[in-house]
Structure 1
Amino acid sequence: MPGPDDEVVSAQQRYASLYTDLLRTVRELGLMRRRQGYYFTRFSLVLAALLAIAAGMILLGDSWYQLLLAAALALVLVQVAFLSHDSAHQQVFDSPVRNDWTARILAGAIAGMSVSWWRNKHSRHHAAPNQVDKDPDVQLDAIAFTPGAVAKRGRLGQWIAARQGWLFFPLLTLEGIGLHSSSVRHLLRRDASRLERVEAAVVVSRISGYVAALYVLLPVGKASAFLGLQLAVFGLCLGAAFAPNHKGMPLVPAGMKLDFLRRQVLMSRNIRGGVLTDFALGGLNYQIEHHLFPSMPRPTLRKVQPIVREYCELHGVNYTEVGLFTSYRIVVDYLNNVGLRARDPFDCPLAAQLRSISPPVGSRLSPESSA
């Protein structure tokens, strides 16, 4: 007669196979194969756009039409950030080294951001999305995700928290400055590795060289306007691409253990749309599939989505997909629920469901990289 230990082992195997069976199917269909032709085309288009913008800036000279190029540059740099994200996730090449250096060049030399800083933060997010004690994306200084976080703030912080839903998108215009600043602080810390010191030289040279070139090419007023608009549009577009993915989805209480498939699916949200949505959000609109298969090439995410959705329906796992503007409304309302009405995000039916479906303590599920 099976004992309690046998039941725990059986439950762990059942939860583990839930993801590994799906992963096996995806691999057998060849959906993890690299799409280098797609990425080389993207790299070429981005490089051509950057060269065209640089040429346009030189030809325009002292003109307020430069602000149009500032906005265009911001949009192209958003695409650079998406490509760096894909490379850092090992989506482009079979070689981890080539992926790593591609990500570093795109982020550091072109976008002026640190892959080392981003990877440290982003890896923790992927490991435990929306878990309050582990995910750095729900431990932000500017945004409060629980009433407890609001209570710890001073008067100014509480004033901002009470309006954070409405302030969220205006605050995203500062995200570009925040990304550059966080990157530089991380790279210039005392215990930085040798590779990070090299990366620091690249990132600092890119930022300072870019700013210097603007003020050499344009009068102070126009150069300042160009820089301000470019950073604002860059931060807004990049932040608006990441915002719908997890914000407003259930938060996982500290210490809670979930199997890998439910951890990734229940805390992620997909965005419906076509080719334009895919382009504007850099494939992050397939957030569920991206979290389940982080190294899957971006253009394959659309193909695997019906398989994942049907699999989740078969096993009773809630699969969330909404339109883009609906997702933004959810984000704003969620933040207002915390900031204005002090609603605890754990007090919701899905959070209770998460508690009831949690596997036995100690059970783990290997993610794609180790499955």
Structure 2
Amino acid sequence: MKFEEKLEDKGRLAGRSQLHLGEMHQANGKPIANGKTDTYEKQAANGKSNLLRKSLNTYTWQEIQRHNQETDQWLVINRKVYNVTDWAKRHPGGHRVLNHYAGEDATDAFRAMHLELDVVKLYLKPLLIGELAPGEPNQERNKNSQLVEDFQELRRTLEASDMFSANLCFFFLHLAQILILEVLAWLILCHFGSGWTVTLFISFLLTVSQAQSSFLQHDIGHLSIFKKSKWNHLMHKFVMCHLKGLSANWWNYRHFQHHVKPNIYPKDPDIDMGPLFLLGDSQPVKYGKKKIKYIDYEKQHLYFYLVGLPLLMPVYFNLQSMQVMYLRRYWVDIAWVSSFYIRYFITFGPFYGIFGTVLLIYLVKFLESPWIAYVTQMSHIPMKMSKEENRDWLSTQVLATCNIEQSFFNDWFTGHLNFQIEHHLFPTMPRHNYHKVAPLVRSLCAKHGLQYVNKPMLKAFGDIVSGTQWTKHYPE
């Protein structure tokens, strides 16, 4: 039976289950013989709902959209209006994520980015200030309500089909792969010594380990592999900080912004790489007005090979991670990252000494950098970049992302980031389910006239530097 047919069957079963539950109300484990109690409870619930509704203020979209500043942030989730101005500073995902949706409907973004909805809703209650006026649509008037409804229905179908449950064995096998590579590199060094040939080979093993650690921490940062969030939190620290030597908090705050507003300048930090690189139409105008011109930007798509590829991991990400940890006092992350360097000095120090071990660390990061740069940029750099246009969730993600053709190697080499469209639409979905939902997403895009881009990997690599998003002309 095909996956789509299974979904239809489950949908019909869910519908029958709901009817059955509606007909039978249980008290103390026994079915009620008549509907009087059921009717009374419904009336009581409706009374409470009406009382709550009367106590809430009602707002129009025009009123809500005025509250879109950092010092005055309102947003809408499921027709309820929330004032998140003061809460933004305490938001676990960072204050900027909330600011990016100020004055907008954030229903789909909220559902996409949060795992434990019951817990999150407790934090929302004190922030509730009202609801949309009865005559107002669920989303802003510029959005296609049918498209939004169809996407939300797709999500409900996938949730009913258990597509958001992680396979624990799948992720532990990937962790085992990483640890085996690390141990194998050390054993080879112990047996054969620290000659140039051996050093290059163990550098290759460690590079593969580092790249796969990047993909694994990305999974753990998004979804809950363990039922208890504290274990998921610790595992993310272990993989990102201890195995990679980068701050988990820094990654979270940066990456979540990218997810909620991909390729939207200046809200997506992944495309804000000035003054070294300028992308799209907005950034060169910004630097042009300030009369800032450090480099010949008409050649930046070419020097990307010389600068962007080799220096992304060892220089840009490393320095930014250290800077953020220090300035924001992420002491736990600092301790975990320190354990990464301590482990390397203990493991490889006896063979290479302190200076040689530092060189080994940066050699591995230097070799890993082009791999990660290609994988992370191939799905976004060639796609549409724009200022804020307040599009619906589906359009925002599909226009800014593209997929890479599936194969066993492509899945492994990219950590399943070749399914970038599905990942962006459903960030908390485990990657082993992307290929199952891809046909449904493609069908939905076709229905609403959205281009679902899927290309070979080598073409995607080439499109990084041949795309139209690189600024070729700099305004004087």
TM score, norm. by length of structure 1? 0.82
1:185 alignment counterpart: 323
1:234 alignment counterpart: 368
Q: Distance in 1 between matches of 2:344 and 2:300?
A: 32
1:271 alignment counterpart: 404
Q: Distance in 2 between matches of 1:108 and 1:201?
A: 9
Tell me if structure 1 keeps the 8 A contact 2:158–2:164: yes
Q: Distance in 1 between matches of 2:286 and 2:349?
A: 41
Which of 289, 297, 305 is the aligned partner of 2:430?
297
The answer to whether 1:315 aligns with 2:451 is no
2:378 partner SS: helix
The answer to whether 1:176 aligns with 2:313 is yes
The answer to whether 1:43 aligns with 2:175 is yes
1:21 partner SS: helix
Question: Letter of the aligned partner of 1:266 in structure 2?
Answer: L
Q: How far 1:32 moved relative to its partner?
A: 1.5
Q: Distance in 1 between matches of 2:235 and 2:183?
A: 19
1:29 alignment counterpart: 161
Q: Distance in 2 between matches of 1:202 and 1:8?
A: 48
Question: Letter of the aligned partner of 1:181 in structure 2?
Answer: L
Q: How does 1:1-371 map to 2 (within 5 A)?
A: 6=135, 8-9=137-138, 13-65=145-197, 66-141=199-274, 142-146=276-280, 147-149=284-286, 151=288, 152=290, 154-155=292-293, 157-159=294-296, 161-170=297-306, 171-177=308-314, 178-189=316-327, 191-192=328-329, 196-207=330-341, 209-210=343-344, 214-218=348-352, 226-254=360-388, 256-334=389-467, 338-341=470-473
Tell me if structure 2 keeps the 8 A contact 1:150–1:158: no
Question: Letter of the aligned partner of 1:14 in structure 2?
Answer: Q
The structure-2 alpha-carbon separation of the partners of 1:248 and 1:318, relative to structure 1 and needing over 3 Å to count, comes to same
Tell me if structure 2 keeps the 8 A contact 1:245–1:268: yes
1:340 partner SS: coil
Q: How far 1:212 moved relative to its partner?
A: 7.2
Q: Distance in 1 between matches of 2:366 and 2:165?
A: 36
Q: How far 1:8 moved relative to its partner?
A: 4.6
Tell me if structure 1 keeps the 8 A contact 2:378–2:464: yes
Q: How far 1:252 moved relative to its partner?
A: 2.4
Tell me if structure 2 keeps the 8 A contact 1:184–1:203: no
Q: Structure 1 unaligned runs (5+)?
A: 344-371
2:449 partner SS: coil
Q: How far 1:221 moved relative to its partner?
A: 8.8
Instruction: Indicate the larger mover: 12-21 or 66-75.
Output: 12-21
Q: Give the structure with the larger strand fraction.
A: 2
Tell me if structure 2 keeps the 8 A contact 1:172–1:235: yes
Greater C-alpha Rg? 2
2:341 partner SS: helix
User: Which of 1 and 2 has higher RCO (CA within 8 Å, sep 6+)?
Assistant: 1
Instruction: Indicate the larger mover: 259-268 or 4-13.
Output: 4-13
Q: Distance in 1 between matches of 2:385 and 2:412?
A: 28
Q: Distance in 1 between matches of 2:242 and 2:265?
A: 33
Q: Distance in 2 between matches of 1:110 and 1:54?
A: 15
Q: How far 1:321 moved relative to its partner?
A: 1.2
Q: Tell me the matched-pair count.
A: 332
Q: Distance in 1 between matches of 2:449 and 2:413?
A: 31
Question: Letter of the aligned partner of 1:218 in structure 2?
Answer: Y
Q: Distance in 1 between matches of 2:248 and 2:200?
A: 28
Question: Letter of the aligned partner of 2:160 in structure 1?
Answer: E
Tell me if structure 1 keeps the 8 A contact 2:186–2:348: no
1:349 alignment counterpart: none
1:351 alignment counterpart: none
Q: Structure 2 unaligned runs (5+)?
A: 1-61, 63-132
The structure-2 alpha-carbon separation of the partners of 1:153 and 1:325, relative to structure 1 and needing over 3 Å to count, comes to farther
Q: Sequence identity of aligned pairs in percent? A: 23
Partner deviation per Cα, 1:12-46 (whole Å, 9 max, x = no partner)? 64353132111012122221121111111111222
TM score, norm. by length of structure 2? 0.65
Question: Letter of the aligned partner of 1:35 in structure 2?
Answer: N
